[in-house]
């Protein structure tokens, strides 16, 4: 396994602290590409936490617009707004010719976080997972010099699988914020009220809803792996979210899809070794 640097940059420190899964995957990328990956992940952290750091939706919109302006400045060659992430991000964009549309999509997707309503359907949840996770993986692939169709297809499906698994594990955390990101129609079909989820009173009725989302995540994981033979080995560090999704979905299944189970909520003790083994084999 790649060794963690003794002196991490600001972006590296932020990713290690707030997005440790992705931090670990970045360590398997070539050393000269890691700072770019850290900058991308740190940017993602900044926009993803918008809902948590603002007191009202309008302030959230303003914050997201600030990051749109920062991205625009990086592409137009203007002065970047002052922030510890903006300069490394601008260097990443210019150094690797990263696609602007991926940044725009990531920022736009976070506007959904400012709405208290849960996704209307499982398809809506999948669209949310895709919009908030897939562009980041595509940017990581570009950083690694991977722009071929097979890698992009694998990346998109791996991102959705990882995001859905993460959203399931985050159910208790989101509930404490008075948020529910489980499909409203599936909750209703199983007799679960949104308020029940927020108050921790859904009980066993929540398990079939979680199972349905997990099954959809498994479908995307299978699609990511279906094209594995066509994906260059150099793309694997950007696709290791699939390995993590497999780990988390496996734990969830063993706990009979109880999202409050301790094993579901804790970091998996073998994830680093499993990531290392996947990277060594060139598989995800």
Range of the domain at 245: 117-284
**C-alpha distances out from residue 29 to 215, 232, 263, Å:** 30, 13, 29
The verdict on 65 and 161 lying in the same domain is no
Domain with 237 in it: what CATH number? 1.10.600.10
The verdict on 107 and 132 lying in the same domain is no
Tens of each residue's pLDDT in the chain, 284 residues = 444 445 899 999 999 999 999 999 999 999 999 999 999 999 999 999 999 999 999 999 999 999 999 999 999 988 878 899 999 999 999 999 999 999 999 999 999 999 999 999 999 999 999 999 999 999 999 999 999 999 999 999 999 999 999 999 999 999 999 999 999 999 999 999 999 999 999 999 999 999 999 999 999 999 999 999 999 999 999 999 999 999 999 999 999 999 999 999 998 989 999 999 999 999 99
CB within 8 A of 204, min separation 6: which ones? none
The verdict on 208 and 89 lying in the same domain is no
pTM of the model: 0.95
Residue 96, in any domain of the structure = yes
Q: How many domains does the chain have?
A: 2
């Amino acid at each position: 396994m790649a060794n963690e640097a003794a002196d991490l940059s600001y972006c590296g420190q932020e990713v290690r602290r707030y997005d440790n899964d992705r931090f670990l995957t970045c360590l398997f990328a070539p050393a000269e590409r890691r700072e770019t990956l850290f900058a991308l992940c740190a940017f993602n952290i900044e926009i993803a936490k918008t809902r948590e750091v603002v007191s009202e939706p309008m302030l959230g919109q303003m914050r997201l617009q600030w990051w749109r302006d920062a991205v625009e400045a990086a592409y137009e060659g203007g002065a970047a707004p002052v922030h510890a992430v903006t300069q490394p991000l601008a260097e990443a964009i210019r150094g690797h010719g990263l696609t602007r549309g991926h940044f725009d999509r990531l920022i736009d997707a976070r506007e959904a976080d400012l709405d208290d309503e849960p996704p209307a359907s499982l398809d809506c949840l999948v669209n949310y997972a895709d919009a908030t996770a897939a562009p980041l993986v595509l940017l990581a692939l570009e950083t690694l010099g991977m722009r071929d169709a097979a890698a992009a297809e694998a990346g998109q499906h791996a991102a959705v699988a990882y995001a859905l698994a993460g959203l399931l594990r985050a159910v208790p955390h989101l509930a404490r914020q008075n948020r529910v990101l489980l499909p409203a129609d599936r909750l209703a079909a199983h007799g679960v009220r949104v308020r029940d989820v927020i108050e921790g009173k859904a009980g066993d009725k929540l398990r079939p809803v979680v199972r349905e989302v997990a099954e959809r995540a498994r479908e995307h994981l299978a699609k990511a792996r279906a094209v594995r033979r066509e994906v260059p080995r150099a793309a694997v560090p950007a696709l290791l979210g699939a390995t993590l999704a497999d780990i988390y979905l496996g734990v969830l299944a063993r706990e009979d899809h109880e999202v409050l189970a301790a094993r579901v909520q804790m970091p998996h003790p073998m994830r680093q070794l499993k990531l290392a083994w996947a990277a060594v084999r060139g598989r995800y």
